[in-house]
Amino acid sequence: MKKKLAVIVVILVLITLSFFGYRHYYDRSSDPTTYSGTIEGTNFPVQPELGGKIVDLPVHEGQMIKAGDIIAKLDDSQAKIALDSAKSQQAQAQAKLNELLGGARAEEIRRLEYAVTQAKANLAALEPGLKFEGDKLAANQKLFEGGAISKQDLDAQQNKVDTLKAQYQSVQASVDVAQTGLDQAHAGNTQPTIQAQKAAVDVSAQSVKTAELNLSKLIIKSPAAGQVLYQHVEPGQVVNPGTTLVTILNPGSLWIKIYIPEAKLNQVKVGGMASVAVDSYPGQTFKAQIQYISTQAEFTPKNVQTKEARTSTVYAVKLVITEGQDQLKAGMPADVTLQ
């Protein structure tokens, strides 16, 4: 009997020790101030302001780049034509102003008459080609809608029509400038006429600056240093304005999002500090600062906790990692301990 009683006492002692040991382990493993999340990086797309055909794409996925590095080059033939045309109009406007200031002579009037005739001839020469390419574009649109040609073929024809239209508009502007000059020569060099021509010179100068700016925009550069995360296009592809060419990861801008139960929300505040631990660096922590606390309650995301815990009401908290950017990487699982 005593032996049986001793066995029962031993069993009770073991059960008691196991219970308190489990509670001690559970309390350590479920630290209410430690939360799990995944380190993220700030991504930004590189997009052109103008559309066109990609003629060079010197970057690839995984490549580290610096701010100002060339991401892509678009076909600049149309932009160069526009720039040459703008410079030509500027030269004509300046020449006309010089003539007005010097007084019109008979030979100048004859030269202006010839310029008008020549500009109109150039305009007439462009009309058949423009009509032909416009009709072809309309036909291609129907073929595209019927699935007979690709979107790239349609865009290529659209670019060709746009180029011809730009040329036509440029020559039309030359006709207008030449005609204006001739009219002014016949009317005489009055002060209002001279002032009007000075304004035309200013307008043409602004047109040159605009054309130069558009030309420069066809060389797309990285706005910041980082790593090419995704390449979305290929050389030879025709892209529209705003198309994402590549996505760049800024490895120096790391953050992590955790989810705080509603009952623990009073433990956090914007500007508060925390420590971040990752498996890659055991025993080492990195500082982080709370940047944002959601004002909207939500249910815990599926990839954060158990099925039961996912029904809990939580608030998203975003922390910016303030040290260890050269060691931590986007995608690392991490534990965040609030301070």
65, 250 Cβ separation under 8 angstroms: no
Higher pLDDT, 252 or 227: 227
176-215 per-position pLDDT tens digit: 888 888 887 776 666 777 888 899 999 999 999 999 999 9
Looking at the chain, the number of H-run helices and the number of E-run strands are 5, 13
Domains of the chain: 31-42+250-338 (2.40.30.170), 47-74+219-247 (2.40.50.100), 77-216 (1.10.287)
User: Considering the chain, what is the average pLDDT of its residues?
Assistant: 82
Sign of CA dihedral 210, 214, 216, 217: positive
Classify each residue of 163-174 as buried b or exposed e, where b means 16 or more C-beta atoms within 10 Å of its C-beta: bbeebbebbebb
Cβ-Cβ contacts under 8 Å for 147 (sequence gap 6 or more): none
51-74 per-position pLDDT tens digit: 999 999 999 998 989 999 999 999
Helices 151-187 + 106-145 axis angle, to 10 = 160
| Mean pLDDT of the region 29-39 | 72
278 is written with which tokens?
A: 């990752």
Nearest to 219 by CA among 313, 79, 32, 320: 79
Length of the chain: 339
**Confidence at residue 24, expressed as pLDDT on a 0 to 100 scale:** 39
Q: Give the Cα separation of 24 and 21 in Å (integer).
A: 5
Confidence tier at 229 by pLDDT (50, 70, 90): confident
266-299 per-position pLDDT tens digit: 888 899 999 999 998 998 999 999 988 988 877 6
186 is written with which tokens?
A: 């016949």
**Confidence at residue 231, expressed as pLDDT on a 0 to 100 scale:** 93
Cβ-Cβ contacts under 8 Å for 46 (sequence gap 6 or more): 71, 72, 220, 222, 223, 244, 245, 246, 247, 248
Q: Give the Cα separation of 138 and 159 in Å (integer).
A: 13
125 is written with which tokens?
A: 């020469």
**Confidence at residue 26, expressed as pLDDT on a 0 to 100 scale:** 38
139-182 per-position pLDDT tens digit: 888 888 888 888 898 888 899 888 888 888 888 888 888 888 88
**Confidence at residue 29, expressed as pLDDT on a 0 to 100 scale:** 40
